[in-house]
Structure formats: structure tokens, C-alpha cells
Structure 1
Amino acid sequence: MNRPDRSARRRRGKSDPVDAQEAARAVLSGRARSQAKAGDGPVQCACLFKLAKDSAVKARTQGVNQLKAVLITADPDLREGLNGLKARALVRTCAQFEDREDGVGGRSAVEQATRITLCLLARRIEQLTEQIRDLERCLTGLVERHFPQLLIPVSIGPDSAATLLITMGDNPERLRSEASFAALCGVSPVEYSSGCQRRHRLNRSGDRRANAALYRIVQSRLRFDARTRR
């Protein structure tokens, strides 16, 4: 269904029977012409892989931030020994700390707790990194197997291709033209003329993830593709 009519909701309120009646009227009058995305094909598989990958990336970022925050208040000797290491080397070094609790009392107990925390956080980050790599391999294999034509243009990788496929759905015939896909991604111009002035503004609706994927593709092509720069 299309988005519910806001004016009808203001007049009649909101409830399941009211929404059902408005939906039926929209279908009978022809105002509702949208076709729902199907979820029974490879695109649905890509959606599940992407969901798991995005959550793993978010958790890994949170873990890295927590690890660096622990280092800020760590013992100066421990902090100086890890100072200057880049993220990967820092995680690798912290993951090798012993997670035994053999220090008691005073500063040694706090330092030992800090080392245990750093070790556990680093190992969690490594596990999430391995999950992200596995999911990236799954996404790449799926796109290469079912939609290899998407990877031919410059600057379109498996992740961006999967994002656009998820927006499209398993039934691309529901999109009647390139313009409808542009509107679905929020990259179509919207007219807001008044009187003798004809103007257009940016489309702020649509799938924002697909919008961001198209933005990344264009920015990359501006760097590496001569035709796009021209």
C-alpha cells in the first residue's frame, strides 16, 4: 500500500478498521498502484546477509571505541606501550594479553582488570571482523552469481550493488521506468513551482540507504572515471 492519507487520519483518527477502509478505497479508486516487494528470491538472501553484516560492523565500531576509551584511563606504563599503534595492530596486541586474574590489591589489581578488559574487547573485535569477512564473501558470491552485470560499471562493488538490489526487490517489474527507480532512491527532482517561476528541489524521500549507495558510487566515479568527470 501507499502511505496513508494524512488528511483522512486527521479527520477520522487512526485505527485498524479505519486504515483498512482507507486502503480499500485507495485500491478501488486507482490511487494505490504500488506493488509490494517480493521476498522469495536471491535479493531476500542479500537482505539477510546485509542485515547481519551491518549489525556486525556497528558492533565492531562500538568495540573499537570502547577499547580506545579504556586506554585513555589505563595505567601510564600500559598506555605508553600501546601508544602510536594503528587500529589493527592495537587490536592484535591487546588480544594477546593474558586474561588471568593474578594481581591483587591496589594499582596492580586495576591494571590487571584493564588488561583483561582490553583482551576481551580485542578478541570480540577479531571475531566480529571474521564474521564481516564471511558475510562479505556471501554477498559477493550471491551478486556475482545472480547479478554479475551490476559489477561491470566502474565503482560499483558488491555492497553497493546489494543495497540497490534490496531497494529494488525480487520483482523488478514493479518499477515501471528509470524515473520510478530514481524516485524510489530519492534522487529524482521534485517540482515546486509557483506562479511564473518554475523550480525544482531535491527529493528528500525514498530509501536513504540506496540514496547513500548512489552517492558513494558517484563520488568514486568522479575520482576514477574520466567520462563521469567530463
Structure 2
Amino acid sequence: MFGGVDTHTDTHHAAALDHLGRLLGDAEFPATPDGCAQLPGWLTGFGPIATVGVEGTGSYGKQLAISLRQHGIQVREVSRPDRRTRRSHGKSDVIDAINAARAVISDDKTATPKTADGPIESIRALRIVRGGAVKARTAARNELTNLITTAPAALREALRGKQPKALLTACTALEPDLTQLASPTHGTMLALRSMAERIAALNQQITQLDKHLDRLVTATAPTLVGLLGIGTDVAGQLLVTAGDNPQRLHSEAAFAKLCGVAPLPASSGRTDRHRLNKGGERQANRVLHIVAVVRLRYCPRTKAYLQRRTEQGLTKRDILRCLKRYILREAHTAIMKDLAQHA
């Protein structure tokens, strides 16, 4: 028997199919711990379950995927149907659950989900909070600049030309008269001080998160962090992309495709070349690009490679594509070595 589950915030809809794809039954369960515990029992009531396809194992279906694995059921991440399929067959919770089960039967657009039960899940959560804090700090800095630009002349001139750190200190030290807030000068001073205090608080939060991430990432993947050009940020992103269960990365080529650095053929006639891959996880691709740029500047071997490939007629874009693929090969070996120690 095979199962499929369409997951949502409040409910999960499950469908059971036989090996020929015939519907045996469907049911809806609450998206609660009790509901996630009941669903595996309902599925096994139709017979031994080979595999269950679940939509959104990293979001709404995360708890359900954990519950299914605890019952010894193999779980596969199923991609949502594309628009063409939905236009042809319609859309409902039942239809989506059936499509998830049929995708497992045909092994079409499925993947092994992350277990999210190790240190990498902690790294992912901390990186999300840090990323949000960085975005909030950037927005606050832009707002501070706009407030200074439109401030009364005397206040604007007093703050003009200051470096970021000195500007933050000066704005924090402003003392507006709270009884005179109807005055644009005192109202703007209070706004500037409040914004400066917000930026200072975000700076402190980011610094603390960086310390925690440095320790956690280094302890989780010392070999990866030891590679040239790979620091905590790059290593953290690559680890999050890989997940806590390295066995889901069945080959280096699969990891390359996941990160969007698997070369795609772009040959025609007398032209024989490859092009950049626009798919994959773009954040992983971004950090690999950063490593490539760093190595082009500081690594003698990479500089020599750039010169040699340029003489062969490759463009800078093609050389960067090749470099990202080589860097990923090193990173994959390091990740598999590091995660094997935590298995």
C-alpha cells in the first residue's frame, strides 16, 4: 500500500492507494500531535504501507513526517502539482493527497526529506532569526538616514558627515524635551534617539547570535569550516541545505544539483559548452559564489586556474561556474565526513 498526505495549518488530508494506484480510502485528521499519531494507524489499517508521500515536510508536514518515521514508515517529500496539472485535473485536498500517493508510486518529483533532528536544525533556526535581525537593522538604518535628511536644519547640520558608529552614538545621546514634542526639532530628536536605540539593540542581538552560531557551526562541521574561504555563514548555509541526514545526498552530483551548480549542456551545432544552472537552492548558490570570489582574490591555485582557463577561451562567467562546482566537491566531502561523526 502507498499513502499520500496534503498538509495544511489546521488539518492533514490523507489518501491510501494500492500498488495499481486505486483509491482505497481517504480521511482528514487534525494537524495536532494526536492527529499526527492517529494518521499512521489509519494508513496501516489498509495493509502494510510501503511509502507515504507528504507535501511540505519542512513546514506544515514536519511533525507528521516525524510521526510516520517513528512508526517505521518511509517518508518521501512530494512536490506540489504544477499549474498545468491542476488546470487539467482540478484541485482539492482529496485530489492533492491522491496525487501525492501516485507521485510516490511512480517515484516522480519526490525526494528524501530532512529529518531535522540534529544540530543543523538548530543552526537553521538561529540563521533565520539572525537574517531577520539583519534585515530589520538595514531597514532601521535607512529610516535613520531619511529622518536626518528631513530633520530641521540645525539638527541636520549637527549630524551631517558623521561616520556610522559616531552617528549612532550622537543620536543615542540626544535629549529631547518631552514636553515640547509638538516642536519638529524635539519630535525629530526623539524619533532619532528611538531609532538609534533600536539599531543598537539589533547590533547586540546579531553579535550574540554570531557567537552562538560560530560555536555551533564549528563544533558541527570543523572540516568544512577549515576550507579556504568558508566561514561560519557559508558553512551554516551549506549545512542547512544538506540537512541532518547526509544519506539523503546519495551522490556529490545530487548535492551539486541541489545547490544549483550542476552544469547544464547548452550545445548546438559546432558550439560545445555548458551554462549556469538557474535552479537549485539560490542561497546555497550564493554562498558558493562568495567562496569562488574570495579564492580568486587570495588563492594562488585559483588565480592560476583563472589564467589558464582564460587562455583557453572561457569567459569569466564560465570560469566561475566551474569554480563553484569544484568548491562544492570539496564542501561535499567535508560535510559527509563531519556529519558522519554525529550519526
TM-score > 0.5 by shorter chain: yes
Moved more, 189-198 or 95-104: 189-198
What is the SS of the residue equivalent to 1:161?
helix
Q: What is the aligned counterpart of 1:46 among 114, 123, 127?
A: 123
Q: CA deviation at 1:199?
A: 5.1
Runs of 4+ in 1 over 4 A off after TM superposition: 192-199
User: 1:222 maps to what in 2?
Assistant: 296
In 1, distance between residues paired with 2:214 and 2:118?
16
What is the SS of the residue equivalent to 1:93?
helix
User: 1:11 maps to what in 2?
Assistant: 88
State yes or no: 1:140 paired with 2:214: yes
For residue 19 of structure 1, what is the amino acid of its counterpart?
D
Cα deviation, 1:99-129, whole Å, max 9, x if unaligned, reads 5414366xxx110111111000001000000
What is the SS of the residue equivalent to 2:178?
coil
State yes or no: 1:89 paired with 2:166: yes
User: 2:263 maps to what in 1?
Assistant: 189
User: 1:126 maps to what in 2?
Assistant: 200
In 2, distance between residues paired with 1:115 and 1:144?
43
User: TM-score, normalized by length of structure 1?
Assistant: 0.91
For residue 157 of structure 2, what is the amino acid of its counterpart?
E
Cα deviation, 1:68-91, whole Å, max 9, x if unaligned, reads 100111121211111111112111
Q: Does the Cα contact within 8 Å between 2:137 and 2:203 map onto a contact in 1?
A: yes
Cα deviation, 1:109-157, whole Å, max 9, x if unaligned, reads 1101111110000010000000000000111000111111111111111
What is the SS of the residue equivalent to 2:162?
coil
Q: What is the aligned counterpart of 1:29 among 87, 106, 111?
A: 106
Distance change >3 Å, CA 208–CA 17, structure 1 → 2: same
For residue 156 of structure 2, what is the amino acid of its counterpart?
R
Q: CA deviation at 1:198?
A: 5.5
Moved more, 200-209 or 54-63: 200-209
Please show how residues 192-211 of structure 1 align to structure 2 within 5 Å. 200-211=274-285
Of structures 1 and 2, the one with the larger relative CO (CA 8 A, separation 6+) is 1
Cα deviation, 1:43-73, whole Å, max 9, x if unaligned, reads 0000111011000000111110001100111
For residue 170 of structure 1, what is the amino acid of its counterpart?
D
Q: CA deviation at 1:32?
A: 4.7
Aligned length: 227
Cα deviation, 1:148-202, whole Å, max 9, x if unaligned, reads 1111111111011101111111111101111111110111122355678665332
Moved more, 28-37 or 170-179: 28-37
Which structure 2 residue ranges, 5 or more long, are not aligned? 1-76, 305-343
User: 1:178 maps to what in 2?
Assistant: 252
Q: What is the aligned counterpart of 1:114 among 184, 188, 209?
A: 188
Q: Whose helix proportion is higher, 1 or 2?
A: 1
Q: CA deviation at 1:4?
A: 3.7
User: 2:20 maps to what in 1?
Assistant: none
Distance change >3 Å, CA 15–CA 86, structure 1 → 2: same
For residue 129 of structure 2, what is the amino acid of its counterpart?
A
What is the SS of the residue equivalent to 1:170?
coil
Q: What is the aligned counterpart of 2:154 among 56, 77, 83?
A: 77
> RMSD of the TM alignment (CA)?
1.9
Q: Whose strand proportion is higher, 1 or 2?
A: 2
Distance change >3 Å, CA 19–CA 211, structure 1 → 2: same
For residue 254 of structure 2, what is the amino acid of its counterpart?
S
User: TM-score, normalized by length of structure 2?
Assistant: 0.62
Distance change >3 Å, CA 99–CA 167, structure 1 → 2: farther
In 2, distance between residues paired with 1:88 and 1:219?
29
Moved more, 190-199 or 27-36: 190-199
Q: CA deviation at 1:38?
A: 1.4
Moved more, 64-73 or 25-34: 25-34
User: 1:68 maps to what in 2?
Assistant: 145
What is the SS of the residue equivalent to 1:31?
coil
Moved more, 7-16 or 201-210: 7-16
Q: Does the Cα contact within 8 Å between 2:124 and 2:240 map onto a contact in 1?
A: yes
